[in-house]
Structure 1
Amino acid sequence: MALKNGEQPTGVESSCQNTQSSFVNDANPKRSTSPQDSPAVSTCLETEGEFAGWKCFKDNGFDSLTGPFWYRREVNGGMRCAFRVEQKHLNIAGYTHGGCYMAFADFCLFMIAKPVKPGPGVTTNMACEFIDSAREGDVIVGTGQVTRAGRSLIFVRGQLAEQERLLFTFSGTIKRSRQ
């Protein structure tokens, strides 16, 4: 069953189908961007469990190590991102670490911009507000919108929530890399 907005999924082992994506790893702007030189980033399409129908990156990069961070395109064309809080995401007090929120928000920034940003880019600015905390087992969902997309800059704002509880808001700017 696919995770729906506001739904708290149960923990089920995942079964991924590895696919290749033409999406360039935005975390590595030094990677070549010419189609023949750019290795495809391996993605995982979840086929069962709580994230069935969602994708994640399987490239041993930062997002893969800190996540898994999942994403999917919604019916309205927007992007939705999610992850389940694990012990590795917690601070010493047992709450989701602020750095985890920020790393996930940066992932969301790029996924939200993905429909208008077909190539690589880098985060040039990100502002955030910590509103509430999450605990181990919670599913954090990131949503947002592109507020403006120019030739070289893309402006995004978004929020992270656990069910209906707002946890974190953010806004950021992506600079498109030259292709």
Structure 2
Amino acid sequence: MSEDFVVKQADIEEHLARLEELARGTFWSELGCEVVYANAEKAAIRLHAEQRHLNLIGIVHGGVLMSMLDNAMGLVVMVACREKTVTAQLNTHFLESSRSGILVCEAEIIHRIGRTITLQATVKDEDEKFIAWGSGSYRIVSR
């Protein structure tokens, strides 16, 4: 393993620790997500879906799934850019329903030009069944 990779990985871990500290008391912590892995190209987050994440018909609320997609894609952007960014656009496709259990959302950058970064993400359940797919564009708002 090269020394550059070790330094970069250590830098990412330090940055993630700072982000985790900043996230305390925000919507991220209220939702209950946790980071599985993150780098400047891809990230994954996990959520243990509980009663509080369900809608009135007993399935995981669409807003929870959209938040997972947005949070995972946003995490990649925060690691890749280290600058303030905002979600400019978010598309979501609800593919299946889920009642509870572990949900994992994986996100990756698919295009970057100037101050705009485009990503895609999926949410899968414990059985690897696709629950949702989304894409989003994120805009760097400061340099």
- TM-score scaled by length of structure 1: 0.64
Q: Which runs of 5+ in 2 are unaligned?
A: 1-15
The one-letter code of the counterpart of 2:112 is A
Q: Does 1:42 align with 2:7?
A: no
Residues 1-179 of structure 1 correspond to what in structure 2 (within 5 A)?
21=18, 23=19, 42=21, 57-58=23-24, 60-65=25-30, 67-73=31-37, 78-136=42-100, 138-163=101-126, 164-179=128-143
Q: 2: CA distance between counterparts of 1:78 and 1:156? A: 9
Matched residue count: 127
Conservation of the 8 A alpha-carbon contact between 2:38 and 2:79: no
Deviation, structure 1 residue 127: 0.5
Question: After superposition, what is the alpha-carbon deviation per residue over 1:34-56, rounded to whole angstroms, capped at 9, x for unaligned?
Answer: xxxxxxx616xxxxxxxxxxxxx
Question: After superposition, what is the alpha-carbon deviation per residue over 1:12-52, rounded to whole angstroms, capped at 9, x for unaligned?
Answer: xxxxxxx950x4xxxxxxxxxxxxxxxxx616xxxxxxxxx
Conservation of the 8 A alpha-carbon contact between 1:145 and 1:157: yes
Q: 2: CA distance between counterparts of 1:42 and 1:115? A: 15
Q: Which runs of 5+ in 1 are unaligned?
A: 1-18, 24-40, 44-56
> What's the % identity of the aligned pairs?
18
- TM-score scaled by length of structure 2: 0.79
Which sits farther off after the overlay, 79-88 or 106-115? 106-115
Conservation of the 8 A alpha-carbon contact between 1:128 and 1:170: yes
Deviation, structure 1 residue 125: 0.3
* TM-aligned CA distance change 1:75 to 1:119, over 3 Å: closer
Higher relative contact order (CA 8 A, sep 6+): 2
Deviation, structure 1 residue 144: 2.4
Conservation of the 8 A alpha-carbon contact between 1:153 and 1:176: yes
Higher helix content, 1 or 2: 2
Deviation, structure 1 residue 74: 5.9
Question: What's the Cα RMSD here?
Answer: 2.2
The one-letter code of the counterpart of 2:21 is S
